[in-house]
Amino acid sequence: MNEVFSKRLIRLIFCLFSMLTAVSIVSPDISWAGEQQKIIFGDEATDSDKAFINKVVDLMENSDNRQSYYEGLAQLGLTDQKTILYRYRLIEKENRVIPVLVSKQEFEGCTDSTGDIGIQGGTQADLTLTFHVSRGYEFGTIPYIWVDYYFEWSNCEEIDGTLDGWVCNWDTEEAYASGCGCDYDMDVVEQAVGGMGIETDDDNSVGHAWVSLTPRDGSPAETHGELTQTYCHTYGFNSPSVTFSVNLGMVSVSVTPEDKNHYWKEAARSTY
């Protein structure tokens, strides 16, 4: 009797510990990495550009969530313009995993996808790709456009396996990149005037990258261009490796060797 009771007590304690552990792991804002950042300054960056980027990165690293980060950007002179969310569901078809777009939304100002996984009749978003665009002047005189890129996916690997690839691109016809960067736990392995190719662990469920754009001529409100990002995930035994290439100043991602049964990739587009 005592032995049975002891076993039940041990199981109860284990269950309670598991529940508490699960609660402690889930952040109140899973869509904010809030990590130390890697900074790459552009060839055309001035001392003023570098000082401004350092201010934003310091804000980024010390903000509790996206909302406080965006509020800090406003204090630096950057006003929220828009947020664009692409949500995908991963489905299996003919022994392959395929991302399917289930929702694309654009909001004025800032919004956060935290906890917003239920879409279109309860469909869960496995992958979310987000753009956030801010514009303004530092000290009312120096024009900037700041773009944040995010990926979030709930169906990532449970343990670290092969590296995934993430590409963030921006149009440089009307603006130049004074600096760009990403979370410190990722690596920028390919760089161009209009983009960067990033390697990330496949068990990394949240990623953040950014670029600071300086208008070549005119105000931030009159400066426009295209934005893209692509996430590529490899999986399975003997999965291929992600590779990056540069064409016309933009970065693209592919896999080597080509094996459609062991990778998927999906792209999202927006504008600034």
Q: Give the tens place of pLDDT for each residue, 86-105.
A: 999 999 888 888 899 999 99
* Contact partners, residue 86, CB within 8 Å, separation at least 6: 101, 103, 104, 128, 129, 130, 268
| The residue type at 105 | Q
What pLDDT, on the 0 to 100 scale, is given for residue 158? 55
Yes or no: say if 208 and 183 are a contact pair by the CB < 8 Å rule.
yes
Which parts of the chain sit beneath pLDDT 50? 1-30, 114-123
What pLDDT, on the 0 to 100 scale, is given for residue 167? 98
Alpha-carbon distance of 15 to 169, in angstroms, equals: 46
What pLDDT, on the 0 to 100 scale, is given for residue 127? 92
Q: Give the tens place of pLDDT for each residue, 55-64.
A: 999 999 999 9
What pLDDT, on the 0 to 100 scale, is given for residue 112? 54
CA torsion sign, 113 to 114 to 120 to 123? positive
Alpha-carbon distance of 271 to 224, in angstroms, equals: 7
CB burial of residue 70 (10 Å; 0-12, 13-18, 19+): buried
